[in-house]
Amino acid sequence: MNPMNPVIVQGDGKVLLETRHPQFDSARDFLARFAELESSPDLLHTYRITPLSLWNAASSGMQLDKILNGLHEISKFDIPEPVLIQINDTIGRYGLIQLKKHPTEPEKWVRVLFKTLYVEKLARKSVTGKDLLQKDGRRFWKIEAGMRGLFKQRMLLDSWPIEDLAGFTEGNPLPLKLRKTMLGNGKPFAVRHYQETAASRWFMDGAPAGGHGVVVLPCGAGKTIVSMAAMALTQTDTLIVCNNQTAVNQWVRELLDKTTLTKDQVGIFSGAEKRIRPVTVATYQVLTWRRSKASEPEHMHLFRDHNWGLLIYDEVHLLPAPVFGATAELQGCRRLGITATLIREDGREGDVFSLVGPKRYDLPWQLLEKQGFVAEAHCYEVRVPFSHKDRDEYEEANATRQFRLASENPVKLDVVRSLVQRHSDDLILIIGTYLTQLKEIAADLRAPLITGKTPHRERDRLFAAFRTGEIKVLVVSKVANFAVDLPDANVAIQISGSFGSRQEEAQRLGRILRPKERKATFYTVVTADSKEQVFAMKRQLFLTEQGYRYHIEEFAAK
């Protein structure tokens, strides 16, 4: 017991961390490995130790002793006995049930191994066990190979995380290497040390435990490079699934620029073009498209009709439900998920763990910032008032209408004008959710506007003009949340967002984090004393956990 330490562990699994303690940075980084941030007021951050956070820690190799000893070293008081029991029991469950390759019929069956007779008995009596487990001779159990994902998914719901050691079938071979000079500009190219480490930890030298899982890196840290390094390790036909057509185009550019793949080896499967090649880049939207609500997805066969050896899920935190179903059927294929945050607003992080794989590598944003791999960022929350008339309308509205009124507060236009003038020498992205508001701002600033309805050719033209500095201010809707490569942008002004979406906050900051000479500045403009301010605090949780601070600015209306 040491009252001078920065942490209090409560009996319900909550962990309180003093933000102004000298050990704050190291304690935050330690807790983030096995606990989830719940709230982050100025003086005291609250974490919660959850089964999933512990299982991700266990799968990444974090030992029980390291967690317990580390907690003892930073805690003010003795750790409550119920928490010690919870951590011990939860960590201990990981690996008690293993999947291994079937010795005689690996394409048809997967062998299920239980570490103890007690666990075997519990699993057999569960609904999942009764549905899927079959006897395999005298001593062993097995499941159908096609049920591998469903078994893991359903057992996790019963708090039994499966260690999948069944390995993978080899897809079509595809020799490829990473270039030493980029094809586009002839500049030297090398994989950064942390990118190489991330790919290596995912692959695990081809061991059965490797080749599936998630890599978490900040926007601008080169998750695409990690994916290409994984492709070079596996040397097999690869299907890449991403969020939109702009992301597809960027993937194709990067693959041709930084690998030895040729144009005839890279295909696109999207709304406009459906060409399957050894490496094919598709969108989630085209895979889940259906003619009617009653119809099955039209193109999900792409997962099954080709002998893929590797599936890459870009922005894996956005994986739509129908793709989860396809992923459950494809556990014999290596899988890599890449994301800036594992937070899913639908709460399906457990499905990512079961079906794509556990978290294999995670690197804090601020650590990369200190090493110069992402730009130094300064975050501001600019609070604006309502006019008297708008405040009266707000007070009389229902909760949904209140959020919309606060988001589209007309006073925000004055703030945007002021910030654009303040940063007249910078490249500025203005990002929002509501089209009426965005159109008004674009017209006022005489700046181009990109929305979901902007043709992809026009988007690419405007993005290219922004990269060269021909356009210095660009107004964008939610299409800019994901996979937009604008390395020279250094100022982002967020004028409205999707309620309390932490993933959106992280993605929008990520638009300006590519390394550059100028510092990155992120503004989020919110209406003071409103529903929007409450949701803004929730949105900022993830970045606060990563070590960012929001400086508050009050804006006085004219």
Tokens of 492: 């982002």
Are 243 and 256 found together in one domain?
Answer: yes
Residue in this structure with the two tokens 């356009």, named with its chain if needed: 471
Tell me: do 400 and 453 sit in the same domain. yes
CATH number at residue 422: 3.40.50.300
- For 426, how many CA atoms within 13 A lie in the half-sphere containing its CB? 22
Say how many Å lie between the first and final Cα of the chain, rounded. 55
Same domain, residue pair 250 and 352: yes
Specify whether 200 is located in the same domain as 58: no
Q: What is the 3-state secondary structure (H, E, C) of 342-407?
A: CCCCCCCHHHHHHHHCCEEEECCHHHHHHCCCCCCEEEEEEEECCCHHHHHHHHHCCHHHHHHHHH
| CA–CA gap between residue 528 and residue 181 (Å, rounded) | 50
CA gap 151, 354 in Å, rounded: 9
Question: Is residue 441 in a domain?
Answer: yes
Q: What's the CA angle centered on 61, arms 111 and 22, to 5 degrees?
A: 155
Is the Cβ–Cβ distance between 284 and 483 less than 8 Å?
Answer: no
Q: How far apart are CA 17 and CA 84, in angstroms?
A: 18
Residue 110 in 3-state DSSP? strand
Sign for the pseudo-dihedral over CA of 386, 389, 392, 398: negative
Domain end residue (candidates: 70, 93, 116): 93
The pLDDT score that the predictor gives to residue 329 is 80
Domain contains 397: yes
Contact 326, 26 (CB under 8 A): no
Structure tokens, 191: 């994989």
Closest CA to 376 of 509, 266, 286, 502: 509
Report d(CA 296, CA 291) in Å as an integer. Answer: 8
Examine residue 176 and state whether it is found in any structural domain, yes or no: no
What is the pLDDT at residue 263?
A: 95
How many Cα atoms within 13 Å fall on the side-chain side of residue 154?
A: 16
Helices 456-468 and 245-258, packing angle to 10 deg: 60
> CA 87 to CA 103: how far, in whole Å?
35
Q: Closest by alpha carbon to 161, among 52, 280, 247?
A: 52
Burial class, 41, CB count within 10 angstroms (exposed 0-12 / middle 13-18 / buried 19+): exposed
Residue 117 is predicted with a pLDDT of 93
341 in a structural domain: yes
pLDDT for 82 equals 93
Domain assignment of residue 171, yes or no: no
Instruction: Provide the domain count of the chain.
Output: 4
Shared-domain flag, residues 356 and 400: no
Distance CA 181, CA 187 (A): 5
Q: Amino acid letter at 315? A: E
**Residue that terminates a domain, selected from 74, 93, 112:** 93
| Residue 23 DSSP one-character state | T
DSSP H helices in 377-496: 388-396, 399-407, 411-422, 435-445, 456-468
The answer to whether residue 450 sits within a structural domain is yes
281 and 351: one domain?
Answer: yes
State which residues form the domain around 422: 374-554
- Bridge partners (DSSP) of residue 8 are 16
Query: How far is it, in rounded angstroms, from Cα 6 to Cα 386?
Result: 40
User: What gap in Å lies between CA 132 and CA 129, rounded to an integer?
Assistant: 5
* Residue 503: Cβ within 10 Å count: 22
Residue 437: inside a domain = yes
Question: Are residues 344 and 481 located together in one domain of the fold?
Answer: no
Q: Are strands 36-39 and 14-18 parallel, antiparallel or unpaired?
A: unpaired
- Claim to verify: residue 144 and residue 250 sit in the same structural domain: no
Q: Same domain for 398 and 514?
A: yes
Q: DSSP character for 181?
A: B
What is the C-alpha radius of gyration for the chain, rounded to an integer number of angstroms? 25
330 and 454 both lie in a single domain: no
At 316 the pLDDT is 86
In a domain, 170, yes or no: no
- Assign 38 to helix, strand or coil: strand
Phi, psi of 229 (to 5 degrees): -65, -35
Last residue of a domain, one of 63, 93, 123: 93
What pLDDT, on the 0 to 100 scale, is given for residue 544? 66
Q: Strands (DSSP E) along 197-306, which ranges?
A: 212-216, 238-242, 266-269, 279-283
Distances (CA, A) of 262 to 183, 246, 265, 282: 11, 20, 5, 18
Does residue 351 share a domain with residue 219? yes
Binned average pLDDT, 10 residues per bin, the chain of 558 residues: 92 92 89 80 82 89 93 95 94 94 92 94 93 92 93 93 91 95 85 94 89 87 94 96 85 94 94 90 87 79 90 86 79 91 76 90 75 78 90 90 92 94 91 92 94 85 86 86 64 79 63 66 89 78 65 75
> Do residue 198 and residue 285 come from a single domain?
yes
The pLDDT value given to residue 215: 93
- 409: nearest Cα among 499, 230, 532, 521: 532
Count Cβ atoms within 10 A of the Cβ of residue 169 and give its class: 0-12 exposed, 13-18 middle, 19 or more buried.
middle
The DSSP bridge partners found for residue 524 are 381, 494
